[in-house]
Amino acid sequence: MNQNNSTTLPVLWQPDLETQDRSHLYQFMRWLHTEKNLYFEDYHALWKWSCDFQADFWECIWFYFGITAHSPFKTVLENTRMPGARWFEGAVLNYAEHVFRGKNTEHPAIVFQSERHELQQISWDELEQQTAAFAAFLREIGIEKGDRVAAFLPNSPHAIAAALACMSIGAVWSSCSPDFGASSVADRFVQIQPRVLIAVDGYSYGGKSFDKTGEVGQLCQLLPSVEHIVLIPWLKQDTAPVIDHTQPQKPVLWDEIQSRFSASRLEFEPLPFSHPIWVLYSSGTTGNPKAITHSHGGNLLEHLKYLYFHNDVHPGERFFWYSTTGWMMWNFTLAALLARATIVLYDGSPGYPDLNVLWELAEKAGITHFGTSAPFLVSCMKAGLSPGSQYDLGSIRSIGSTGSPLPPEAFGYVYEKIKNDVWLSSMAGGTDVCTAWVGGNPLLPVYQGEIQCICLGCAMESWNDDGMPVPEGEVGEMVVTRPMPSMPVFFWNDEDGNKYEKSYFEQYPGVWRHGDWIQITKRGTVVILGRSDATLNRQGVRIGTAEIYRALDQIPEIRDSLIINLEKPDGTDWMPLFVLLNQGAEPDDVPEGKIKTVLRTTCSPRHVPDAIIVVPDIPYTISGKKMETPVKKIFQKRPLDKAYNPDSMRNPESMKFFIDMAEKL
């Protein structure tokens, strides 16, 4: 795979001196100089030190942010081998306690809007009271530290308060969005055996209401460990939901809990640094989702580091990321409360009533940091939207993008049609670490098509198959050679750690392989070229799917695309490209000649597909990932129940086309 590493790439944004001086990252560098007698001439020197002297760096993070510890740590890092590194042994703390350190009366804690709710604000006092009430309820019913609480909730203030309540008492939080199917939710939650289930009666999306009381009843049957059910009327707010359930206890309404425990005081259970805070899940498209367990201390330090130094979030600023409770960016948005920011939540479709809905929200809510997915920005670009001329986006200081690689054309679109002086902060990380490995930097320029930097404390390299670093500017496997505090403490129900080890350390023992193709440029920027497990092995040459998608984004007739490569027993292969055309286009309108020319000239002749096939839809996971590998398995005639899990999909009906086509081949 080749990727342009030209030094002539356009610089789209350059921080001015005021931005640099005000940034938390610059203030940290000054603190290191004053307090530790450490001087770094630029960010890259600071990054190298943060990786070479890990224990020193993370100890500095601890003291710089003044971590509230109920007992001190004995050592910063023990056993540096991965997996198995132990961080801040002896330290006792609580993530939620650090959230409420920032409570104030000057700014709201939450600004919320949904398809059915007008813009509203929740003060810090209200959030604290709701959190305290739910924590008191959990204590009364016997929930103790280490017990699991599962949530089937939309992106609402209830979810934030409930999660903080669980953290405050040491219960382990886990959530799924109500657009998940019951069996998909059960596949996740049954692994952790929750004692409490919090759920809504339904949700709204795209202007439609979806009743979920039947699914909640199914969950109660599929989760025999659940002893208590908490219900939130969401669709019918004046009517208590009626569900069929197997538990002897009567479901309790959220508002009843809030009323009964309204006088409760919020208290924080001191917890070991590595105590589980929440369980997140892999996509589960081809098997049971992995129950990835994170820690209070590891996530606390990592979120402080990223939100302050790489997102540069300041007190009172408004932090938004479009997400659901089933994606780690929801947890990351909650984490912005650590930076004393106001978090902005939106529940609903980003395309209803049209693609302007989130830009309108940015104006009304005064969003400072606007976070979204790369596909959303590409969709706005292809729809010809010009948000900057339609809305007052003066409050926006940064636009964040994640979920998949952001193509260079979308970088240009942001500056041409959204805001010409905005800081575009493309980032990439994952559920595995609940943060970003690479992302924004308020001290560095933004180059078109490139992520600004590798983040502090992340010893990232690009390797070949032999486990050797590739030269600067070449493409290789993304690896992390040294541990980070936010790496999972374990997978739930993986007593011997075998599943954890196989997930990240099988190819390079002791080194984390993330599964992405990356290019680290000579200037320290990063380009991600797609998942290495979806790599197209084409005539002996490995091709990253992101290269092809990036090239196709130049073609206005194409709304979306998916490509696979099928290796045949005789050593040949067949590489079909599936394209979704823009609305109103007919199958005969597919610009085959243009597609082949663009791929041949932008990439190489090997990137040109053997067939171009128009499809009614492109399959995605609920968290927004294209499903190349499941589609390939369908064409390999794998059993359908082994090829993909429809309950893990945003649009399961999209698979019918591929199934029907594969049967005819």
> Taking 50 as the threshold, does the pLDDT of residue 558 lie above it?
yes
The pLDDT of residue 242: 67
User: Alpha-carbon distance 26 to 338, whole Å?
Assistant: 19
Task: Go through the chain and tell me how many residues it has.
Answer: 665
The pLDDT of residue 540: 58
State CA 93 to chain mean position distance: 25
User: Alpha-carbon distance 390 to 354, whole Å?
Assistant: 13
Segment 66-94 shows an average pLDDT of 95
For the chain, the average pLDDT equals 91
Segment 47-63 shows an average pLDDT of 98
Spell out the residues 6+ positions from residue 516 whose beta carbon is closer than 8 angstroms to its own: 428, 477, 478, 528, 529, 530, 531, 532
User: Alpha-carbon distance 261 to 131, whole Å?
Assistant: 10
The pLDDT of residue 72: 95
The pLDDT of residue 294: 98
CA atoms lying within 13 Å on the CB side of residue 413: 21
Spell out the residues 6+ positions from residue 56 whose beta carbon is closer than 8 angstroms to its own: 49, 76
531-664 CATH: 3.30.300.30
The continuous run of DSSP H or E covering 272 comes out as strand 271-272
The pLDDT of residue 240: 63
> Taking 60 as the threshold, does the pLDDT of residue 187 lie above it?
yes
**Before 248, cis peptide (omega within 30)?**
no
The pLDDT of residue 106: 96
Spell out the residues 6+ positions from residue 251 whose beta carbon is closer than 8 angstroms to its own: 229, 230, 231, 241, 243, 245
User: Alpha-carbon distance 78 to 90, whole Å?
Assistant: 12
The pLDDT of residue 649: 85
The pLDDT of residue 604: 72
Distances (CA, A) of 206 to 115, 185, 484: 8, 22, 39
The pLDDT of residue 129: 98
- For 158, the token pair is 């209830």
> Taking 60 as the threshold, does the pLDDT of residue 5 lie above it?
no
Segment 413-421 shows an average pLDDT of 97
The pLDDT of residue 245: 63
The pLDDT of residue 432: 94
Answer whether 122-272 and 531-664 agree in fold: no
Per-domain boundaries in the chain? 122-272, 531-664
The topology under which CATH files domain 122-272 is Rossmann fold (3.40.50)
The pLDDT of residue 246: 63
Q: Which of 70-79, 83-92, 182-191 comes out lowest in average pLDDT?
A: 182-191
Backbone angles phi, psi at 13, to 5 degrees: -155, 140
Distances (CA, A) of 553 to 426, 518, 562: 17, 20, 12
The pLDDT of residue 381: 92
Q: Which of 32-41, 122-131, 359-368, 496-505 comes out lowest in average pLDDT?
A: 496-505
pLDDT grade for 6, boundaries at 50, 70 and 90: very low
Q: Which of 1-10, 592-601, 621-630, 655-664 comes out lowest in average pLDDT?
A: 1-10
> Taking 80 as the threshold, does the pLDDT of residue 220 lie above it?
yes
**What is the dihedral sign for C-alpha 546, 515, 172, 305?**
negative
pTM: 0.87
pLDDT tens for each residue of 593-622: 888 888 887 777 778 899 999 999 999 987
Segment 219-240 shows an average pLDDT of 88
Evaluate whether 339 touches 312 at the Cβ level (below 8 Å): no
For residues 98 and 575, the model is more confident at 98
> Taking 90 as the threshold, does the pLDDT of residue 426 lie above it?
yes
For residues 44 and 287, the model is more confident at 44
Spell out the residues 6+ positions from residue 415 whose beta carbon is closer than 8 angstroms to its own: 12, 13, 422, 424
> Taking 50 as the threshold, does the pLDDT of residue 22 lie above it?
yes
The pLDDT of residue 585: 72
The pLDDT of residue 573: 79
pLDDT tens for each residue of 488-540: 999 999 999 999 999 999 999 999 999 888 999 999 999 988 777 766 766 55
The pLDDT of residue 236: 79
- One-letter-per-residue 3-state SS of 299-348: HHHHHHHHHHHHCCCCCCCEEEECCCCCCHHHHHHHHHHHHCCEEEEEEC
Which of 56, 98, 63 has its CA nearest to residue 300?
98
Segment 316-330 shows an average pLDDT of 95
- For 131, the token pair is 């959190």
